[in-house]
Structure 1
Amino acid sequence: MAVALMWEARAAEGRGTELLEWVRGQELSAPPLRRETLTAPGNRVLVITWWDAPYDAELPELPEPDGGLVSRPPHRWRFESLGS
């Protein structure tokens, strides 16, 4: 079974590049099958990781950034793949 974890945050004003660098520097305690980082207008950064695991498995996730890097707490979602 494939599970996708999504992590999305909005950078504080003027700190979009810094948030992106912070995200890229975060190592997870175990490697996912795939990891993709995306950006969007409004200084948003999205990270999607794919795992070969049950839906309710304990999986490593990105932490909360500190130091005023984000304008609100990150949003997190978990999805189960239904295949293609």
Structure 2
Amino acid sequence: MTVALMWEARAVPGRGPDLLAWAEERARELPRRPSRREVFRAPQDRVLVITWWNAPLDADLPELPEPEDTLVTRTVHRWRFESLGSV
């Protein structure tokens, strides 16, 4: 089974590049390597990281931590999805 972990945060206005750099670094530092990893940015200084794992949906998998409060406007949003395949 393939599980996708999604991590999304919104930076304090003007700190988007800092949050992006922080997330990219933390994604590279995960204690285990996912089968795939992508980092995205969006308007309003949002950053999204998706990691794919060959594991059961409820597996204990490494996730990106919460950034320091001075970097984000709110708590990080996290989702876990089971892949149903690609088209």
Is the pair's TM-score, using the shorter chain for normalization, greater than 0.5? yes
Q: Describe the superposition over 1:27-53 as per-residue Cα deviations: whole angstroms up to 9, x where unpaired.
A: 101000000000000000000000000
Percent identity between the aligned chains? Answer: 67
Aligned residue in 2 for 1:83: 85
Does residue 19 of structure 2 align to residue 19 of structure 1?
yes
Normalising by structure 1, what TM-score? 0.97
Which has a greater percent of helix? 2
TM-score (normalizing by structure 2): 0.94
> Unmatched 5+ residue regions in structure 2?
none
In the aligned structure 1, how far is the partner of 2:82 from the partner of 2:50?
Answer: 13
CA distance in 1, matches of 2:85, 2:18: 35
User: Is 1:6 equivalent to 2:3 in the alignment?
Assistant: no
Q: Provide Cα deviations, 1:4-37, integer angstroms capped at 9, x if missing partner.
A: 0000000011100000010111110100000000
Query: Partner letter of residue 46 of structure 2?
Result: R
CA distance in 1, matches of 2:40, 2:24: 11
**Runs of 4 or more consecutive aligned structure 1 residues displaced over 6 Å after TM superposition:** none
Shift of 1:61: 0.1
> SS of the counterpart of 1:17?
helix
Secondary structure of residue in 1 paired with 2:5: strand
Runs of at least 5 residues in structure 1 that lack an aligned partner in the other structure = none
